[in-house]
Amino acid sequence: MTARAWAELLRVSALFTVPGDALAGAAASGRRPDRGTVLAVGASLCLYEAGMALNDWADRDEDAIDRPHRPIPSGRIAPGAALAAAGALTAAGLGLAARAGRPALAVATGLAATVWAYDLRLKHTPAGPAAMAAARGLDLLLGAAATGAAAGGATGRATGPGPALVPVTGPASGERGAYRKGPASGKGAASGRGSAAGPGAARGSEPATGGFVRGALPAAALLGAHTYAVTAVSRHEAHGGSTAAPLAALGAVAALSAAAVHEQRGRRGDRGTDAHLGPGGRGEPHRPNPGPTHDAPTPLAGTAPGLVRTALTGSYLRTAAVPLLHAALNPSPPLTQRAVGGGIRAMIPLQAALAARAGAVGTGLAVMALVPIARALSRKVSPT
């Protein structure tokens, strides 16, 4: 059992498509990445790799016929070792999610259950693509549930009046909004050191976290739709022969690009503000009082984020659509497998576009930094 064999089993080249899920979820919820986001990324990586190991363990008999070079049928990794790795990685993922709070653990538990159900039962049924799409959507929601929650325990519970952090708009406020101390907003104001997540973000505040998760549902749906399309194509990568699957996926990619290029409703990322809980933890975005004329965005402030969203969406469209078009024109196994690989790599620019769509342009650009790493590794280890 060599490092190369484990890299193939765990498909390490696809691993870099995972961190963007949590980052896009944090952005879609209207909060900036924090310690909870880091925990969500770690949990996502563990659960993703658990799914990879479990997938090859469950498919070991099928791979012995169609993919005898895979680590388990070739004898380079024992089936029991792959199954043990899947169990250990699942436990590690749930442990990391638990450190981010109960809402994050609840989402991670649903994600782990979906992964195991897909690999052991649903993969070869009509529900397979939907289960895979649900797993990716839950992975994004994990980032939304974890962000802010882990910091809540360190900043104290919401207890009475005190200085609160409120967003400041204007050209100098930065990408996701600067924060300043402002007047307390009543019972919901955070006391003590405060949290950038805003009032009501204390650990264990399930209603508050639920509001953030609901805000990330549209982004999760878009990511899930892309995953569904790629999974439907992947069912034909061993034997090829399907023109309908890549054509349908191509249409889905075009529709998702049209949705991703527009700013997320309810977000004001072009103005550098951050949506967070309002007074009383009801989940309304805080809207500062109208300020003087300098509060209005300049034309550049309103245009630059839109250009970034367009560029990121274009990268997603190019990465996913070109190999899908080739597979539709010639549905051979190599071109179909290349289309699946392109669809997997396209998740990174899609995650970046979703973050920018929510106003987190810097987060989107940071996610895009993973593209060259994933591309370089995919030349050495296949992501499929």
- Give the predicted TM-score (pTM) of the model: 0.77
Residue with tokens 């962000």: 147
Residue 169 and residue 178: Cα distance in Å, rounded?
7
Residue 185 and residue 162: Cα distance in Å, rounded?
8
> For all residues of the chain together, what is the average pLDDT?
80
Residue 327 and residue 110: Cα distance in Å, rounded?
34
If we measure between CA atoms, which residue out of 369, 351, 272 comes closest to residue 25?
Answer: 351
Give the residue, 281 or 337, on which the prediction is more confident. 337
Residue 227 and residue 320: Cα distance in Å, rounded?
11
Give the residue, 339 or 299, on which the prediction is more confident. 339
Per-residue pLDDT band at 60 (split at 50, 70, 90): very high
pLDDT at residue number 377: 86
> What is the rounded (10 degree) CA torsion for 92, 96, 98, 103?
-120
pLDDT at residue number 209: 66
Residue 80: is its pLDDT beyond 60?
yes
Residue 383 and residue 119: Cα distance in Å, rounded?
17
Which residues lie closer than 8 Å to 117 by C-beta, 6 or more apart?
A: 131
Q: pLDDT (tens digit, 9 = 90+) per residue, 150-169?
A: 554 433 333 333 333 334 33
Runs of H (alpha helix) within the chain: 3-10, 19-28, 35-58, 60-66, 79-99, 102-117, 128-146, 149-155, 206-215, 217-234, 244-260, 299-329, 333-345, 347-357, 361-368, 371-378
Runs of H (alpha helix) within 100-158: 102-117, 128-146, 149-155
Q: Which two tokens stand for residue 126?
A: 């009509």
Give the residue, 60 or 268, on which the prediction is more confident. 60
pLDDT at residue number 306: 86
Q: pLDDT (tens digit, 9 = 90+) per residue, 220-234?
A: 999 999 999 999 999
Q: pLDDT (tens digit, 9 = 90+) per residue, 213-267?
A: 889 999 999 999 999 999 999 988 878 788 999 999 999 999 999 999 887 765 5
pLDDT at residue number 302: 56
Residue 193: is its pLDDT beyond 80?
no
- Average pLDDT (15-39) is 95
Q: pLDDT (tens digit, 9 = 90+) per residue, 310-340?
A: 999 999 999 999 999 999 999 999 999 999 9
Q: What are phi and psi of 383, to 5 degrees?
A: -80, -5
Cβ(165)–Cβ(196) below 8 Å? yes
Residue 193 and residue 296: Cα distance in Å, rounded?
30
Residue 303: is its pLDDT beyond 50?
yes
Residue 290 and residue 317: Cα distance in Å, rounded?
39
Residue 208: is its pLDDT beyond 70?
no
- Average pLDDT (122-135) is 95
Cβ(353)–Cβ(316) below 8 Å? yes
